[in-house]
């Protein structure tokens, strides 16, 4: 069931989104060679808690961290660990959720660690741009398939592939709500968009093949071919006009 949010709920989601966005800015400033993913996670946890919010991911389905932190060929759902140290030339995906007075924000970025390859920078950039391609179609009256096809067409035209096993989603009182928002699809198909829908749009883009696998830890998703993957996500509000970004610092 797709839940349309009222103005009170949207106000809470903006607050949750702001905390989420600020946590990601903090994470960005921590990213450097030599830091462990656990240290980044610990600081994200402290920040979200200090804001009077709760890390949405902590304990979700048993997830042990406050953020998902995934390196290089890890696509999503990396578990923060004191043993995972960022190295010069890595790219790191940090995915954060904050729940404020019952409502969630969900956002992810991919950061370069020190100096990275031109190909890695291009992958990060195309992934971010594919999100903004989707935004052109994220308005009332359009359909979920318009979003997915915009992401997929842009990514493929740049020589990369989209992950199909994991998708964007509605977001609100639940971290994952209807509808599913795949990063592929057919324009004009799928659920119709209405004002007051809140969605987490999150292109996951692989440099090589689209296939992924889950590691034995039960969480970490990796590319099948061991090539790089990037992730970019914001929670947004659908309106009659341009979408409103919820996971931003105002
Ligand atoms: Mg996320
Ligand atoms: Mg999400």
Average pLDDT over residues 148-171: 98
CA 127 – CA 133 distance, rounded (Å): 10
User: Looking at residue 250, what is its pLDDT?
Assistant: 82
Q: Sort strands 221-223 and 74-76 into parallel, antiparallel or unpaired.
A: antiparallel
CATH number of 7-245: 3.90.230.10
Q: How many CA atoms lie within 13 A of 115 on its CB side?
A: 0
pTM above 0.85, yes or no: yes
Cα first-last separation, the chain: 30
CA 11 – CA 5 distance, rounded (Å): 10
Encoded tokens for 45: 């946890």
C-alpha closest to that of 8 among 100, 134, 73, 83: 100
The per-residue pLDDT for range 72-125, each reduced to its tens digit, is: 999 999 999 999 999 999 999 999 999 999 999 999 999 999 999 999 999 999
User: Looking at residue 11, what is its pLDDT?
Assistant: 98
* CA 132 to ligand 1 center in whole angstroms: 17
Q: 228, 212 in Cβ contact below 8 A?
A: no
Using the predicted structure, report yes or no on whether residue 131 has a pLDDT greater than 90. Answer: yes
Alpha helices in the chain (DSSP H): 7-30, 37-50, 118-135, 144-157
Closest ligand to 76 CA? Answer: 1
Average pLDDT over residues 11-20: 98
Beta strand residue intervals within 46-90, DSSP E:
54-55, 67-71, 74-76
* CA 118 to ligand 1 center in whole angstroms: 25
C-alpha closest to that of 63 among 97, 110, 35, 111: 97
Encoded tokens for 199: 């969605």
Break the chain into its structural domains and give their ranges.
7-245
* CA 117 to ligand 2 center in whole angstroms: 27
Helix (H, G, I), strand (E, B), or coil: what is residue 159? coil
Average pLDDT over residues 8-25: 98
Average pLDDT over residues 231-246: 98
* CA 166 to ligand 2 center in whole angstroms: 9
Helix (H, G, I), strand (E, B), or coil: what is residue 223? strand
* CA 157 to ligand 1 center in whole angstroms: 25
Closest ligand to 168 CA? Answer: 2
* CA 107 to ligand 1 center in whole angstroms: 5
Residue 36 has what DSSP assignment?
B
Using the predicted structure, report yes or no on whether residue 227 has a pLDDT greater than 90. Answer: yes
Among residues of the chain, what percentage have pLDDT more than 90?
Answer: 100
CA 168 – CA 166 distance, rounded (Å): 7
Sequence-ordered list of residues with C-beta below 8 angstroms from that of 39, at least 6 positions apart, any chain: 30, 82
């Amino acid at each position: 069931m797709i839940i349309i949010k009222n103005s009170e709920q949207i106000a809470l989601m903006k607050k949750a989104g702001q905390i989420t966005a600020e946590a990601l800015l903090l994470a960005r400033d921590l990213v450097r060679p030599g830091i462990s993913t656990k240290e980044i996670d610990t600081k994200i946890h402290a920040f979200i808690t200090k804001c009077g919010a709760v890390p949405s991911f902590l304990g979700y389905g048993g997830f042990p961290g406050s953020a998902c932190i995934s390196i290089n060929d890890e696509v999503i759902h990396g578990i923060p660990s004191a043993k995972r140290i960022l190295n010069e030339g890595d790219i790191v995906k940090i995915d954060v959720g904050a729940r404020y007075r019952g409502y969630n924000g969900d956002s992810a970025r991919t950061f370069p660690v020190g100096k990275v390859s031109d190909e890695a920078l291009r992958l990060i950039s195309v992934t971010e741009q594919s999100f903004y391609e989707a935004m052109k179609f994220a308005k009332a009256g359009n359909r979920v398939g318009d979003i997915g096809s915009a992401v997929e067409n842009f990514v493929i035209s740049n020589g990369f592939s989209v992950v199909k096993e994991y998708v964007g989603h509605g977001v609100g009182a639940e971290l994952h709500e209807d509808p599913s928002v795949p990063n592929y699809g057919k324009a004009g198909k799928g659920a119709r968009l209405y004002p007051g829908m809140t969605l987490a749009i999150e292109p996951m883009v692989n440099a090589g093949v689209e296939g992924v696998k889950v590691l034995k830890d039960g969480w970490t998703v990796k590319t099948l071919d061991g090539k790089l993957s990037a992730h970019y996500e914001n929670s947004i509000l659908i309106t009659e006009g341009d979408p409103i970004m919820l996971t931003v610092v105002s």
